[in-house]
Chain A
Amino acid sequence: MLYPFHTGRRDPFALMQSLLGDLNRATPTRTAQPSFPAINVWQGDDAVAITAELPGVDPGDIDISVKDNVLTLSGESKVPDVPEGSRWHRNERRYGKFTRALHLPFAASDDKVEARMANGVLRIVIGRPDEDKPKKIEIKAA
């Protein structure tokens, strides 16, 4: 398990939770299969970002959709074009269709979702709608 970000972490409970999450995933009672693509999640007050490594996947082959608070990421990793009659010596990479659905901490609207792809890394930023943001309540003098 990798914790590349935890050195600068401010919230010790989040670290504990993520450790527990790994423990849950490692227990054989849960038939959790590692899913593709692997994702990292980033959160802030106004937005959530999801990054995923999709090497060799054309941006045109990726579908991202948001409905209420579920973000679905699907697509296809295509087998590279090789000339007819070629022989495969080694095949470590995986190809095929993939789909992953994620629960977001808030219901997102389509116009606040932005996706970018650079060097095989997909980054989706979902802005939190204004009506969902916590409102500060003024205390009036009685």
Chain B
Amino acid sequence: MTNDVTETADKTPAKEPETTTGTRIYRPLTDIVETSDGVTLMLEMPGVAAEDVDLILEQRVLTIRGKVHPTRPEKLQPTYAEYGEGDYERAFTLSDDFDPDKIDAAVANGVLRVTLPRAAEAKPRKIAVKAS
């Protein structure tokens, strides 16, 4: 873990060149943490509200899309831009042992947190050894 924040978050444009809405698509920077219950994904999606996030799980592929609300101060002209705004899209292939009904997602301060609990039968079980 570094303590310095010196780099600009590199918003990498996704491979797909064009969208129907005409906006750019970015690949959200993601942290993935494995906890005892499952896996937590944290995706940076600044400008995306909770109701504009779509999560689709299809054939083990979890596709996450976020629609951005562009920030446009009224009556002002843009004069300098370091970052661009656009929608977000990223897909993850999951292993088989997640319970699709228990996937949970929440947005806070522009970060989407997806928790994927492992299915009960996939959790490690300790097998007692009996003395014979």
Contacts and interface: CB of A to CB of B under 8 A. Distances in A.
Contacts of A111: none
Interface residues of B, number: 48
Interface stretch (A28-36, A63-71, A130-138): A28-36
A88 B81 contact: no
B82 A79 contact: no
Given A36-B9, A93-B42, A125-B73, A53 B34 contact: no
A36 B9 CA distance: 7
A87 B31 CA distance: 11
Contacts of B8: 34-38
B69 interface: yes
A12 interface: no
Given A44-B77, A123-B71, A36 B110 contact: no
Interface residues of A, number: 60
Interface in B111-126: 111, 113
Contact of B82 (A39, A49, A118, A119): A39
A16 interface: no
A56 to B, nearest CB: 4
B7, B73, B84, B86 interface centre (most CB from chain A within 10 Å)? B73
Nearest to A94: B5
A43 interface: yes
A38, A80, A94 interface centre (most CB from chain B within 10 Å)? A94
A36 B6 contact: yes
A10 B108 CA distance: 37
User: Top 3 A-B pairs ranked by shortest CB distance?
Assistant: A120-B110, A55-B110, A34-B8
Interface of A: 2-5, 9-11, 14, 18, 21, 33-44, 46-49, 51, 53-59, 77, 79-80, 82-83, 85-98, 117-121, 123, 125
Interface of B: 1-9, 24, 29-36, 39-40, 42, 44-49, 69, 71, 73, 75-86, 107-111, 113
